[in-house]
Amino acid sequence: MPARLTRLIPRTTRARRRTVQAVMLGAVLALLPVTWMHTAAAGKLRTTADVPARDVAVVFGAGLWKGRPTPYLAHRLDTAAELYRTGKVRVLLVTGDNSRTAYDEPSAMRAYLTARGVPDGRIVSDYAGFDTWDSCVRARKVFGVDRAVLVTQDFHIKRAVALCGRAGVDAYGVGVAEPHDRTWYFGTTRELFAAGKAALDAGLRPDPHFLGPAERGVTEALASAGAGAPASPRDRPRTERRAPRP
């Protein structure tokens, strides 16, 4: 063994015991956020077939490729469209990043959904969903959503449900299953690190990067849907505001 490594090994039994205890404590602390997420999401995960009906589904952004949804985002949108078609939800709140002129997740999500038969007037855009916590807080404080179905990939759904619950949204989650390819393994590994930030967000409850005033987009879309009026481009909520770009 190299001499440098030998010097790092505790020389006494007491020192070794303390080292082992420190390592064990670190492991426990590292697992606490993951444990919290699993506990908070327990009993809240469903499929498209058995999820309880809610007025609103929140669909989280997952990136664009050449201005169009990535495959993972497309799968989330396909699931949300199915929830709408089967009457599980009446309005879709698409939340994503539009911090740059050339990058507009919510508009790309809207275009994808309308191309697959979801009426434009049943879609509301949140242009400042920069991360999961921001999307959850804005759903509650800006758009007035207090009950929802959340749609995202299976490896992300527990964090989404836990954070939205902490933000005041009583949510069920529908996790979209994916083949266990390189992207899936990357996303699953990323969740282990994201759990720490999620726990901090849940504990500290910071304001999102951009909060802004309350908007009536969801309320108006639900009123239109409840009245049984045909959805048309004119039904699109006019109160949606884009977040200021840095």
H or E stretch including 186?
Answer: helix 182-204
Predicted pLDDT of residue 11: 64
The yes-or-no verdict on residue 233 having pLDDT over 60 is no
Lowest mean pLDDT segment, chosen from 73-82, 109-118, 119-128, 233-242 = 233-242
pLDDT of 39 reads: 86
Residue 18's pLDDT band (cuts 50, 70, 90): low
Which pLDDT score, from 0 to 100, does residue 6 have?
Answer: 52
Question: How many angstroms separate the most distant Cα atoms in the chain?
Answer: 78
The H or E element containing residue 91 is: strand 91-95
pTM: 0.81
Confidence label for 189 from pLDDT (cuts 50, 70 and 90): confident
Q: Which amino acid is it at 176?
A: V
pLDDT of residue 131 exceeding 50: yes
H/E segment holding residue 123:
strand 123-126
Confidence of residue 37 (pLDDT cuts 50, 70, 90): confident
Residue 26: the pLDDT is: 45
| More confident call, 196 vs 234 | 196
Q: How far does the chain reach from its first CA to its final CA, in angstroms?
A: 52
Please report the pLDDT score of residue 191 as a whole number. Answer: 79
The predicted-structure confidence for 145-182, as pLDDT tens digits, reads as follows 999 999 999 999 999 999 999 999 999 999 999 988 88
Q: What is the per-residue pLDDT for 36?
A: 82
pLDDT at 236: 46
Average pLDDT over every residue of 203-231: 83
| pLDDT tens track for 44-101 | 999 999 999 999 999 999 999 999 999 999 999 999 999 999 999 999 999 999 988 8
Which has more confidence, 43 or 236?
43
**Angle, vertex CA 74, rays to CA 153 and CA 83, nearest 5:** 70
Q: What is the mean pLDDT of the chain?
A: 84
Hey, which bits of 39-85 come out as E strands? Answer: 45-46, 56-60, 64-65, 68-69
194 or 152, higher pLDDT: 152
Higher pLDDT, 41 or 30: 41
